[in-house]
Amino acid sequence: MTLTARLTELLGAANVLTGEAAARYCRDWTGKYQSSPLAVARPGTTAEVSATVRACAEAGVAVVPTGGLTGLTGATMNEGALMLSLERMNRIREIRADTRLAVVEAGTILQSLHEGADAENLYFPLWFGARGSAQIGGVLSTNAGGSNVLRYGSTRALCLGLEVVLADGRVLNLMSELHKDNSGYDLKDLFIGAEGTLGIITAAVMKLVPKPRAHATATLAARSLPDALILLNRLQEATGGAVEAFEYMPRRYMERLARELPNLKPPFAETHDTTILVEVGATAPRDADALADGSLPIVTLLEETLAGMMEEGMVLDATVARTEAQRREMWERRESAARITFTQMPIIDTDIAVPLDRVGDFLTAIDARLAELDPEATSLVVAHLGDGNVHYTAYPSRTDPALNEAVVTALEDVVADLKGSFSAEHGVGLSKLPSMTRRKDPVALDVMRSLKAALDPRGLLNPGKTIPPAGQ
Amino acid sequence: MTLTARLTELLGAANVLTGEAAARYCRDWTGKYQSSPLAVARPGTTAEVSATVRACAEAGVAVVPTGGLTGLTGATMNEGALMLSLERMNRIREIRADTRLAVVEAGTILQSLHEGADAENLYFPLWFGARGSAQIGGVLSTNAGGSNVLRYGSTRALCLGLEVVLADGRVLNLMSELHKDNSGYDLKDLFIGAEGTLGIITAAVMKLVPKPRAHATATLAARSLPDALILLNRLQEATGGAVEAFEYMPRRYMERLARELPNLKPPFAETHDTTILVEVGATAPRDADALADGSLPIVTLLEETLAGMMEEGMVLDATVARTEAQRREMWERRESAARITFTQMPIIDTDIAVPLDRVGDFLTAIDARLAELDPEATSLVVAHLGDGNVHYTAYPSRTDPALNEAVVTALEDVVADLKGSFSAEHGVGLSKLPSMTRRKDPVALDVMRSLKAALDPRGLLNPGKTIPPAGQ
């Protein structure tokens, strides 16, 4: 019996797709990666995932798990393997408001979890543009970040427990609800961020946090990046660490936004070098409950901090959101990054991190190197400044693999000099494999290969991703 | 050349101890575990650790790393292996106040790091009784918890980067300062909590937090455990999540404290069932700066919350610390647990976690089981209630291995019923190996064994600890 026939027996014909029916799984969000899988399987339970993986192991066929196809590194690129979609496992099994956690299946869409938590007056604090498509399994497998990491951490910090199907089909049950558990090695964190190369995540226990009762949101122009960091530190001090987002949009980003999305009104009459979107979340009633005059204490705190820095000349202009619509408009400027970044080709999109006081050094150095390599090239930047995480996109003036490689290498050089990482939050997938080969500590690479060999000795789980083969 | 001679050549005679000179390394804090190592080596640098481990690997001799000997599970118990003390690697290499991190060597004593951070007006938020002896390497290797986990997380949550010497002597450099790095598998978290069985931690980058400008600390009597949890939730809401400690001391603990440490004044004239120590930390000036009348806003907030609950009858009595001396006295009652717990033998000391709304169910069930098994047995409890982490100590009426085993098994039963863990923060070492065999998911155990075999194929790193051998 062929594997496809065997899977059809296991899952039903409606859940084993080929040809036209499989087409929509074969192209990811970036459009850069086209897959040609053997078939697409859509198991509906953990037991079915287990049986599917077991059948693949028996047939010696590789398995590539896939979520919402919103990744940016080609991590679900697939040539002849079984593509395993978790989309039917999309139930929020339980939300426990008293202990602030959600038990979710891997195919749950991030936005559904936001909505589920919201109904219990709680918040799942992982927030990024693709939240309407991204699935929890993919979010966990890439250790996704986003705009709230500053306060709440990346996906890893939000996960209490996992269920994982191993390469041989066995189910590893780590579905703990505990905040403390030192019974042996930390297996959970090994599977988080492993891009499906060590096991297939089928369910998880995720932390929820109190829903902020109010937000104070502002767009401001800082005199410089160091001044923006002073603002961040002052706001963290004033609010007791309640800053939820601190996003940097440089002049070129604001100009491009105005050009490509003219309906989005610019925040200021003048375009500044350093535009910042800041948001503070307040959960305590004394911060979030309106006073007799209608003012919100958390908003007043933000306004006073901004006013003080304007007097000192460190903030040049600022506007504070008065309504939810104004707040959404501020966020739309930032979240349009994904839409405007990918409209120009050729493109080298990167996702680096440096210590957060070195973002300015990074930008100065890389723009200089880019100009040397390709005087007509341009770049676009948007950054989670509070995490030192910069999305630097270069647009070379021509399609030229050697130039492309030179730009990426220059970027790696600059990042390495500043003790940064060439992959902050998007992961490795296929696109960052050359960087892994060139830049990752060889001992670390060797340890990763040992772990991969231990957990997937036949190399059947998402082969060719995350860890470059030895000897390259 | 013997291994000892070779090590003497490498490290100098003063740093390879045998006989009397080695004696103080051979007995841990509990007194339950006596070691008889081949020798004690005291390398002074990472290169010397590497050379030492390499020499052991060549000689086929096992290595047991040791820190401050304050562990409670026999994790540094040693029969004929080389004991490797990191005590000479005790430098704080750097404290970077602007980016809030410390680069420390593994032998740094926890209290030294507290003092180093304090000098920069920062705080290293890992706090427990043994802080004057515990070393960072041991703290990391056991993923230590303590009293501030509620707000800041366990050791794992406080570590940004690690340096590890592997079983063959290679140095794995993961000394990142980044808050986001998705370049491959999460190796760091695998070594944290692995009790030296996968590698020897030699240095780390640890997070620091703003030093609270003020604390509001109270001892109170709650009507019941559920009422205590209502208090915790109200305080978290009122303070925006600034509760740093929420410690539970039951009646029997308070009685024993009064008997064994009579100089420590009881908090109330009457002894209550449910005594709670709560501490809130304030970093924002508006919470922590005294008002014109001398009152501290954060203290007022705590008082108001307690007063409201007294009116409702949920809090029976309460006293708020007015001076640092009063605060220290409140903490001394809680931190005397280690002193009074180990004065009676025979003893079964445990360290379990349950979902935090199930602590009461746990105590009721286990006391009933203990009474069935040994009607004359007594127990002593102190708990990090905010984490669901209970230190339950049973004192059987007689020394009887079968009874001991029956009590431990009963405890495991109760914990398993409540979806808890038999080891919350102390780790596994030797003492929890039988629990690992009986209670850990067999697939998880098998994965742990695969990882151990991948990273330490000859089984030379702290052999016989953490993971029980297969087939037991």
pLDDT tens profile B209-241: 989 999 999 999 999 999 999 999 899 888 888
Q: Domain ends where: A85, A107, A138?
A: A85
* Under 8 Å between Cβ of B276 and B228: yes
Say how many domains are in chain B.
4
Confidence at B126, pLDDT banded by 50, 70, 90: very high
Report how far residue B465's alpha carbon sits from residue B374's, in angstroms, rounded to the nearest whole number.
Answer: 30
Confidence at B338, pLDDT banded by 50, 70, 90: confident
Report how far residue A151's alpha carbon sits from residue B306's, in angstroms, rounded to the nearest whole number.
Answer: 28
Q: Is A280 among the domain residues? A: yes
The answer to whether A387 contacts B180, with C-beta atoms less than 8 Å apart, is yes
CATH code assigned at B401 = 3.30.70.2740
pLDDT tens profile B60-108: 999 999 999 888 899 999 999 999 999 999 999 999 988 889 999 999 9
What is the DSSP code (8-state) at residue A188? H
| The predicted structure's pLDDT at residue A33 | 87
Residue B448: closest C-alpha in chain A: A185
pLDDT tens profile A193-207: 999 999 999 999 999
DSSP class per residue in B114-156:
HHHHHHTTEE-----GGGGT-BHHHHHHTT---TTHHHH--GG
CA distance B443 to chain A (A): 6
Pairing of strands B101-105, B82-85: unpaired
Residues of chain A positioned with their CB less than 8 A from the CB of B448:
184-185, 187
Residues of chain A positioned with their CB less than 8 A from the CB of B194:
185
Confidence at A420, pLDDT banded by 50, 70, 90: very high
Residue A431: closest C-alpha in chain B: B183
Q: Is A166 among the domain residues? A: yes
CATH code assigned at B291 = 3.30.70.2190
CA distance B242 to chain A (A): 8
pLDDT of residue A338 exceeding 90? no
pLDDT of residue B472 exceeding 70? no
pLDDT tens profile A9-53: 999 999 999 999 999 999 877 778 889 999 999 999 999 999 999
Residues of chain B positioned with their CB less than 8 A from the CB of A454:
450-451, 453-454
The answer to whether A428 contacts B156, with C-beta atoms less than 8 Å apart, is no
Neighbours of B245 (CB within 10 A): 24
The answer to whether A172 contacts B443, with C-beta atoms less than 8 Å apart, is yes
Looking at the structure, do residues A163 and A234 belong to the same domain, yes or no? no
Looking at the structure, do residues B291 and B371 belong to the same domain, yes or no? no
User: Which of A99, A185, A436 is opposite residue B357, by nearest beta carbon?
Assistant: A99
Residue B466: closest C-alpha in chain A: A184
| The predicted structure's pLDDT at residue A471 | 77
Residues of chain B positioned with their CB less than 8 A from the CB of A419:
176-178
Looking at the structure, do residues A156 and A228 belong to the same domain, yes or no? no
The Cα-based distances of A382 to A74, A281, A334, A349, A429 in angstroms read: 21, 22, 8, 11, 22
Q: Is B466 among the domain residues? A: no
Report how far residue A81's alpha carbon sits from residue A88's, in angstroms, rounded to the nearest whole number.
Answer: 20
User: Which of B357, B424, B453 is opposite residue A181, by nearest beta carbon?
Assistant: B424
- Print the domain residue range for B103: 92-210
| The predicted structure's pLDDT at residue B72 | 86
pLDDT of residue B54 exceeding 70? yes
User: Which of B183, B198, B450 is opposite residue A440, by nearest beta carbon?
Assistant: B183
Confidence at A472, pLDDT banded by 50, 70, 90: low
The predicted model gives A337-342 an average pLDDT of 88
The Cα-based distances of A244 to A147, A152, A214, B299, B420 in angstroms read: 8, 8, 12, 26, 32
Confidence at B146, pLDDT banded by 50, 70, 90: confident
3-state secondary structure A240-254: CCCEEEEEEEEHHHH
The answer to whether A156 contacts B445, with C-beta atoms less than 8 Å apart, is no
The predicted model gives A182-186 an average pLDDT of 97
Looking at the structure, do residues A131 and A155 belong to the same domain, yes or no? yes
Q: Which of A372-381, B26-35, B158-167 bottoms out in mean pLDDT, i.e. has the lowest?
A: B26-35
Residues of chain B positioned with their CB less than 8 A from the CB of A455:
447, 450-451
* CB-based burial, A1-32: b 16+ in 10 Å, e otherwise: eebbebbbebbeeebbbeeeebeebbebbbeb
Report how far residue B182's alpha carbon sits from residue B383's, in angstroms, rounded to the nearest whole number.
Answer: 36
Looking at the structure, do residues A219 and A330 belong to the same domain, yes or no? yes
CA distance A194 to chain B (A): 6
Residues of chain A positioned with their CB less than 8 A from the CB of B174:
441, 444
The predicted model gives A332-349 an average pLDDT of 91
Q: Is B434 among the domain residues? A: yes
The answer to whether A183 contacts B285, with C-beta atoms less than 8 Å apart, is no
Looking at the structure, do residues B348 and B305 belong to the same domain, yes or no? no
β-bridge mates for residue A277, sequence order: A219, A247
* Under 8 Å between Cβ of B216 and B320: yes
The answer to whether B193 contacts A173, with C-beta atoms less than 8 Å apart, is no
Residues of chain B positioned with their CB less than 8 A from the CB of A210:
236-237, 241
What is the DSSP code (8-state) at residue A167? T
Q: Give the mutation candidate from A54, A173, A179 for the B interface (greatest B CB count, under 10 A).
A: A179
Pairing of strands A16-17, A200-207: unpaired
pLDDT of residue B32 exceeding 90? no
Q: Give the mutation candidate from A183, A243, A304, A390 for the B interface (greatest B CB count, under 10 A).
A: A183
CA distance A296 to chain B (A): 15
Q: Domain ends where: A85, A118, A136?
A: A85
Neighbours of B257 (CB within 10 A): 24
User: Which of B170, B193, B240 is opposite residue A186, by nearest beta carbon?
Assistant: B193
Nearest residue to B4 (alpha-carbon basis) of B45, B61, B78, B50: B61
Q: Is A141 among the domain residues? A: yes
The answer to whether A178 contacts B388, with C-beta atoms less than 8 Å apart, is yes
Looking at the structure, do residues B324 and B367 belong to the same domain, yes or no? no
CA distance A257 to chain B (A): 27
| The predicted structure's pLDDT at residue B147 | 82
The answer to whether B181 contacts A353, with C-beta atoms less than 8 Å apart, is yes
| The predicted structure's pLDDT at residue A72 | 86
For the record, the structure tokens of A366 come out as 């890389």
Q: Is B459 among the domain residues? A: no
For the record, the structure tokens of B232 come out as 């915790």
The answer to whether B172 contacts A443, with C-beta atoms less than 8 Å apart, is yes
Report how far residue B247's alpha carbon sits from residue B151's, in angstroms, rounded to the nearest whole number.
Answer: 13
Looking at the structure, do residues A262 and A326 belong to the same domain, yes or no? yes
Q: Domain ends where: A55, A85, A115?
A: A85
Looking at the structure, do residues A222 and A333 belong to the same domain, yes or no? yes
Looking at the structure, do residues B289 and B230 belong to the same domain, yes or no? yes
The predicted model gives B253-257 an average pLDDT of 96
Residue A448: closest C-alpha in chain B: B185
Residues of chain A positioned with their CB less than 8 A from the CB of B170:
443
* Under 8 Å between Cβ of A196 and A462: yes
Residue B160: closest C-alpha in chain A: A355
The Cα-based distances of B178 to A31, A190, A412, B443 in angstroms read: 30, 18, 16, 33
Q: HSE-up of A124 (CA within 13 Å, CB side)?
A: 33
The answer to whether A425 contacts B182, with C-beta atoms less than 8 Å apart, is yes
Looking at the structure, do residues A99 and A140 belong to the same domain, yes or no? yes
Q: Is B433 among the domain residues? A: yes
Q: Give the mutation candidate from B123, B151, B185 for the A interface (greatest A CB count, under 10 A).
A: B185
The answer to whether A180 contacts B284, with C-beta atoms less than 8 Å apart, is no
What percent of chain A has pLDDT above 90? 88
pLDDT tens profile A389-410: 999 999 999 999 999 999 999 9
Q: Is A460 among the domain residues? A: no
CATH code assigned at B44 = 3.30.43.10
pLDDT tens profile A80-139: 999 999 999 999 999 998 888 999 999 999 999 999 999 999 999 999 889 999 999 999
Looking at the structure, do residues A289 and A319 belong to the same domain, yes or no? yes
Output the average pLDDT for chain A. Answer: 95
pLDDT tens profile A263-280: 999 999 999 999 999 999
